[in-house]
Amino acid sequence: MKAVRIHEFGGPEVLRVEDQPRPDPAPGEVLVRVEAASVNPVDYKMRNGGYIPERALPVTLGRDVAGAIEAVAGETSGFKAGDAVYAMLARDRGGYVEYVAVKAADCARKPERLDFIQAAAVPLAALTAWQGLFDHGRLAAGQRVLIHGASGGVGHFAVQFAKARGATVFATCSQEDVAFVRGLGADEVIDYHAERFEDRAHDIDLVYDLVAGETQDRSWTVLKDGGVMVSTLKEPDKAKAEAKRARGVHYMAQPNGGQLAEIARLIDDGKVTPVIAAVFTLADAAKAERKLENEHVRGKIVLEVARG
């Protein structure tokens, strides 16, 4: 089968399309015939030398897949061959492939409303938003949330989840995405190049930070006393959190089939829709990563895994 792997760290040119043996699922795993995979910042960060040591190379990149189950091994929570599923992969396997073995517990049935390309756009970004807002941020109906980076892969899910939960959503993005983010349901959309979010957002219960740097630092002023600052990128400053009697959380998203099933229900109910910025072939994974890393992207980039 085809797999896109790296043998060294570097730019997109280090991605190689190679022939690899098809994996055998271990007990409790399903073998997925991948129809589509998606690209996340973690893929190019890993390719650039982040997250894994050099001795771990070669590795297959990619953390999201959607496809049909080809085979199962042992007890797989009712999943059977032929089921259409989607999953966020654990860090020890890659999704830019034709077949991948996935723990059944990490899979959920693909939302019926979505095709495989749309479904592949969901798992890592949506689980990141879900876990950040609800597990770590404990966002509740009626609360006010400020989402920084609202037009990107994670942010566009976060806006929709927060609205579906009944929160009031303040969101920051570039001017060209203001209408898009408003269309996702945000109540107040702030163009971060032209305006200071501090002038529009206040008494925020939860700051959801997908940007870090000075954006995170400045966000303490809009947070309520006793609020929460959750970041995917940087541990919030402990002294500043203490001064506000706030909680600060930095976390790494984890695969979770149960949460993906809940997310599928929201998608099938029409409350959440993934947005696809571009689709590339598996062989063009390098172009896809180059685009995500260097260009302005609205929503998600997906790889269609065509078999010859």
Ligand X SMILES: NC(=O)c1ccc[n+]([C@@H]2O[C@H](COP(=O)([O-])OP(=O)(O)OC[C@H]3O[C@@H](n4cnc5c(N)ncnc54)[C@H](OP(=O)(O)O)[C@@H]3O)[C@@H](O)[C@H]2O)c1
CB of 171 to ligand X, least distance (A): 9
CB of 158 to ligand X, least distance (A): 9
Q: Does 215 bind ligand X (CB under 6 A)?
A: yes
Nearer to ligand X, 14 or 233 (CB): 233
CB of 216 to ligand X, least distance (A): 10
Number of helices (H) and strands (E), helices first, in the chain? 9, 16
C-alpha distances in Å from residue 282, one per residue of 125, 128, 177:
20, 24, 28
Q: Does 259 bind ligand X (CB under 6 A)?
A: no
C-alpha distances in Å from residue 10, one per residue of 23, 208, 276, 283:
27, 30, 26, 18
Q: Does 252 bind ligand X (CB under 6 A)?
A: yes
Q: Does 152 bind ligand X (CB under 6 A)?
A: yes
Selected binder of ligand X within 118, 143, 216, 232 (CB under 6 A): 232
Query: CA-CA distance, 109 to 267, in Å (whole number)?
Result: 12
Query: CA-CA distance, 51 to 294, in Å (whole number)?
Result: 20
C-alpha distances in Å from residue 6, one per residue of 33, 56, 212, 292:
21, 10, 28, 18
Nearer to ligand X, 60 or 219 (CB): 219
Selected binder of ligand X within 67, 95, 153, 255 (CB under 6 A): 153
Helix (H, G, I), strand (E, B) or coil at 53: coil
**Phi-psi category of 212—alpha, beta or left, where left has phi over 0 and alpha has psi -120 to 50?**
left
CB of 14 to ligand X, least distance (A): 19
Selected binder of ligand X within 148, 163, 165, 291 (CB under 6 A): 148
Nearer to ligand X, 16 or 234 (CB): 234
Nearest to 32 by CA among 91, 80, 92: 80
Query: CA-CA distance, 199 to 235, in Å (whole number)?
Result: 25
Selected binder of ligand X within 52, 164, 283, 297 (CB under 6 A): 297
Please check whether residue 129 is in contact with residue 148, taking contact to mean a CB–CB distance below 8 angstroms: no
User: Site map for ligand X, 99-118, x if CB under 6 A?
Assistant: --------------------
Q: Does 296 bind ligand X (CB under 6 A)?
A: yes
Q: Does 192 bind ligand X (CB under 6 A)?
A: yes
Which residue of this chain has its Cβ atom nearest to ligand X in the complex?
152
Q: Does 62 bind ligand X (CB under 6 A)?
A: no
Burial class (CB in 10 A: 0-12, 13-18, 19+), 185: middle
Q: Where on the chain is the footprint of ligand X (CB under 6 A)?
A: 40-42, 45, 125, 128, 148-149, 151-155, 172-174, 177, 192, 210-211, 215, 232-233, 252-253, 296-297
